Structure 1
Amino acid sequence: MPDGYRRDQVAALVDHTLLKPEATAADVAALAQEAAALGVYAICVSPSMVAAAKHAGSPAQKLCAVAGFPSGKHLSAIKAEEARIAVADGADEIDMVIDVGAALQGDIAAVGADVAAVRSAVGEHTVLKVIVESAALLLLGTEQTLLDVCRAAADAGADFVKTSTGFHPAGGASVRAVELMATVGPQVKASGGIRTAADATAMLAAGAGRLGLSGTRAVLDALP
């Protein structure tokens, strides 16, 4: 048993994810059905797919949508409106992407303002996760950059800081990134490149409280 984790324990922490550009309403319906069968916590889809996911989903699973995805280079007002519409369409949680360039040039205040705009748009009862692209920040910046970004997100009202979109060439989640992010305060969602039970449980052991997985069944099937 990897690190002592059971299948049901891990499933309860998974956002079962489909963010491919070619995803259709039928694909989202299949995602929702699989999520119910696997007993995961939530499904995560693109904003245009929220209505389809809400129609197809089970009340047992939360519904998450992304905003400013995947580049994070959208204007804050656009991210905020995208998130607001997703919540109006039925999303329970929003995963927004920061402007990584702003973070790397040291404009941490801009990162915080970006997060604050989305928080204001969705209200205090919507779970807000902030995708920081930890691999890019560690590759192109420093560990302190990652920590500063996570603190700014926390101060602006984030409930979670999230490692990755899974689309950045720098890579996805790493144990080191999760360890650093877990020291800041908000919960941590590890996502991007987590394809095995060993990967998943390593992230949980490092401090993650949620996992973003697209290959969820393969991960869970390897657990008792």
Structure 2
Amino acid sequence: MENHELSKMLDHTLLGQDINKNQVINKCNEAKEYGFYSVFTVPYYVKTMVDELKGSNVKVGTVVGFPLGNTNTESKVQEAIKALKDGAEELDMVINISALKDHDRDYIFKDINEIVKLKDKLDQDFILKVIIESCLLDPEEIEEVNKLVYEAGADYIKTSTGFAESGASLEVVKLLADLNTDNDLKIKASGGIRTKEDALAMIKAGADRIGVSSGVQIINS
């Protein structure tokens, strides 16, 4: 895979408690220079990204219910509405892992679907990725939540926040690829992907998008 092809599969990410505006602007400039698919950072800086990426092909992305996922659905919906009105084009939301552990399928479905329904309510097309924090789940739970993510109407299932004990694994990406052979649910691998070899391995395993904080180093390696 050529570098320009790989770049188009990378979400250039900056997430943390102590980030600042200059760092966000730098990420945006790197994304434009290297042709990354998007920049992802916290909701507070969505308007900054919109301004910095204006006139480019780089998408604006942010997170919802991040990083724990166990805020209530109403809070996630309001967070999503604000981000979309500020100009976000992609949302990566965290499922309620506690609800999954309780096997509360109805809650998880609604948690996702209420944000999906914003496409019609706001008449705004956006991409929704659902983060499942796969390192906290066993294969049966991954299969269960994958089905719910698909049924609720999300666009992607995403492995990890990058804030748990570990991130994406090839085994989980392969499992998700097998589970989604016959549908259009895409896969985003994220968390701990720091080299070009890591990224290419995830793509080979079935990932359609890669979330990384070290996109420049990956492309230059």
Which TM-score band (shorter chain)?
A: over 0.9
Residue 33 of structure 1: how far off its partner (Å): 0.3
Question: In 2 relative to 1, CA 122–82 (structure 1 residues): closer, same or farther, beyond 3 Å?
Answer: farther
- Deviation sequence 1:162-212 (CA, Å, 0-9, x none): 00000012x100011111112223100000000011110110001000000
Matched residue SS, 1:94: strand
Which letter maps to 1:218?
Q
1:54 equivalent to 2:27? Answer no
Identity of aligned residues (%): 35
1:165 equivalent to 2:184? Answer no
Of residues 36, 39, 42 in structure 2, which corresponds to 1:43? 39
1:190 equivalent to 2:182? Answer no
Matched residue SS, 2:16: coil
Structure 1 unmatched runs, 5+: none
Runs of 4+ in 1 over 4 A off after TM superposition: none
Matched residue SS, 1:64: strand
- Deviation sequence 1:27-49 (CA, Å, 0-9, x none): 11111001111110101111111
Identify which range, 119-128 or 173-182, moves more after superposition. Answer: 119-128
Matched residue SS, 2:136: helix
Aligned to 1:146: 142
Aligned to 1:67: 64
Matched residue SS, 1:158: coil
Of residues 170, 176, 198 in structure 2, which corresponds to 1:175? 170
Aligned ranges 1:1-224 → 2 under 5 Å: 5-58=1-54, 59-123=56-120, 125-137=125-137, 142-169=138-165, 171-182=166-177, 183-184=179-180, 185=183, 186-222=185-221
Which letter maps to 2:63?
V
Distance 1:122 1:73 in 2: 23
- Deviation sequence 1:33-86 (CA, Å, 0-9, x none): 011111101011111110111111242101111000000011111111101110
Residue 122 of structure 1: how far off its partner (Å): 4.3
Matched residue SS, 1:63: strand
Residue 121 of structure 1: how far off its partner (Å): 2.8
Distance 2:105 2:167 in 1: 22
Structure 2 unmatched runs, 5+: none
TM-score where L is the length of structure 2: 0.93
Distance 2:86 2:150 in 1: 26
RMSD over aligned CA atoms reads 1.2
Matched residue SS, 2:57: coil
Distance 2:39 2:119 in 1: 18
Matched residue SS, 1:128: strand
